[in-house]
Chains A and B, each alone.
Chain A
């Protein structure tokens, strides 16, 4: 018993592990709140894209010696707004707009970095994530961004819900859908930046999508998906941190793998949608019974 307690508490005697724990707590909360929208609106690609686009800002800040978080945020939010604008005005599909703009921003980052002779660990901690290397300064910034995102979503929850569910009706009811459209894209961008240091550019989308998608299999209302998603993200992160500590493997990837396993379990055993669960009989009158109706 004492052994188990020691085993569990040992990693968190270190300050860097305590900071990591605080970081993943906030990352889980932000990722689930924004990730719930990403999942229900089918915006996974945009989450991935904005994380990659932030690389341009990371690289520029690195070269110019500014705040890397600020750089990442500017690049990600600018790309998000550009994507929203191009989609609305140029009459091209959203995924095409994303594909063009994020690769452009990512390429810009690579061009900037390629001018540098020395690649440092710091730069690569953003690409592959290094939650164990989060400093107090990083933590403060992550805390500010987390509070801001959660406050904004809490304040405009009903408008965002209405917009996400039925944008046309929302518009007809006088909800400013255009502002919410751009606002949501900007929030996804900031959330991606928050998760950046924890799991790295390439894995950010997993934090945004996986816990929220897992929660979506288990509960049936948007705010429940947010709360359960945050809890699942945090559980994944803590287990991932232990795996990382004791098995000496990359922290970001461990966290994402645990989250993926939880999703797999939910997919198999979800009471309502589980692949291995016997479902209630179909409600009569749903699409299925219409499909077999005689077509005279």
Chain B
């Protein structure tokens, strides 16, 4: 059973075991606030859903956790470590729209980039790196596409390439920005099965989504975000009409509790 989250009182105790510990983070761009006093702790071997409408600060929160965006205030710890020393523990998949798909690289090249951070300067990939890449390609069913230029892939395949690259980093904590957007239900299901497999191996996943359809089944916890933390708890407790309306405002229409209806992104893969 997942314990309900109590930010202040359990923070010190959770410190040891939390995979991701975010404490009172304020962040934004050019005077525009994107995150207001966000705190949460994701336990190890959990899949945490990060939900909120577009512009609610999901991507910013992921980038703060990754150390790609410096918060104004607050702090982040990964498995008890400061971000600077936790880089190798983290894997990340950006949104597909933020990637240049015309770039002259093959699927294999992109997945190999996941190894570059470990390799360090002036070192070429070794047999071990190639082995890890081959395994990640296989796990995402990309082996047959390894030598394709990335622009020749379908939307679902592109998503898998980004996930394969993140896995090639051999992370303990995996942050995924909208991995489901635009994919059809069958592929979403495949991805969720993959995520559950990773969780069972002891990895911790933080999955950002504005799509409410896949929450109840597979997330251990859901962080509902709209600049500030609206709720953080088990999916059934978070996905109530009241809380969802508070986070999404008028962006969605609700069916009976727990079965949120989604309006955007009917994926076609």
Q: Which residues of A contact B (CB under 8 A)?
A: 40, 155-156, 158-159, 161-162, 164-166, 168-175, 216, 219-222, 224-225, 283-287, 289-290, 293, 296
Contact = CB atoms under 8 A, between A and B. Distances in A.
B100 A165 contact: yes
Given A171-B68, A174-B87, A221 B117 contact: no
Contacts of A164: 103
Contacts of B121: 156, 159
B156 A285 contact: yes
A164 B106 CA distance: 14
B268 A285 contact: yes
A282 B182 CA distance: 18
Given A159-B121, A173-B113, A222-B104, 5 more contacts: A156-B122, A173-B117, A224-B104, A225-B104, A287-B155
A242 B57 CA distance: 61
Contacts of A155: 122
B106 A290 contact: no
A174 B125 CA distance: 16
A129 B100 CA distance: 36
B251 interface: no
26 contacts: A158-B116, A158-B124, A159-B116, A164-B103, A165-B110, A166-B99, A168-B68, A169-B94, A169-B113, A172-B66, A172-B90, A173-B87, A173-B114, A173-B116, A173-B117, A173-B169, A175-B117, A219-B104, A220-B104, A220-B106, A221-B104, A222-B105, A283-B152, A285-B154, A285-B155, A290-B268
Nearest to A173: B117
Contacts of B119: 158
A219 B105 CA distance: 10
A295 B150 CA distance: 27
A207 to B, nearest CB: 19
Contacts of A166: 94, 99-100, 113
Nearest to B165: A169
B104 A40 contact: yes
Interface in B81-132: 87, 90, 92, 94, 98-100, 103-106, 109-110, 113-114, 116-117, 119, 121-122, 124-125
Max chain A C-beta neighbours (<10 A), residue from B67, B124, B169, B268 = B268
A221 B105 contact: yes
A158 B115 CA distance: 10
A269 B165 CA distance: 34
Nearest to A221: B104
Interface string B171-192: 0000000000010000000000
Max chain A C-beta neighbours (<10 A), residue from B92, B103, B165, B182 = B103
A168 B95 CA distance: 12
Contacts of A156: 121-122
A162 B124 CA distance: 13
B16 interface: no
B153 A283 contact: yes
A254 to B, nearest CB: 29
A283 B106 CA distance: 17
Given A155-B122, A156-B121, A172-B90, A165 B268 contact: no
A215 B26 CA distance: 47
B105 A165 contact: yes
Given A40-B103, A161-B105, A286-B155, A293 B113 contact: no
Contacts of A158: 116, 119, 124-125
Contacts of A171: 68
Max chain B C-beta neighbours (<10 A), residue from A175, A216, A224, A290 = A290
A293 B265 CA distance: 10
A173 B153 CA distance: 25
Contacts of B139: none
Interface string B225-269: 000000000000000000000000000000000000000001011
Contacts of B143: none
Contact of A174 (B117, B124, B155): B117
A286 B116 contact: no
Nearest to A171: B68
Contact of B68 (A172, A221, A286): A172
Contacts of B155: 285-287, 290
Max chain A C-beta neighbours (<10 A), residue from B105, B106, B149, B182 = B105
Given A158-B119, A284-B154, A293-B266, A172 B106 contact: no
B116 A162 contact: yes
A274 to B, nearest CB: 16
A266 to B, nearest CB: 14
A175 to B, nearest CB: 7
Contacts of B104: 40, 216, 219-222, 224-225
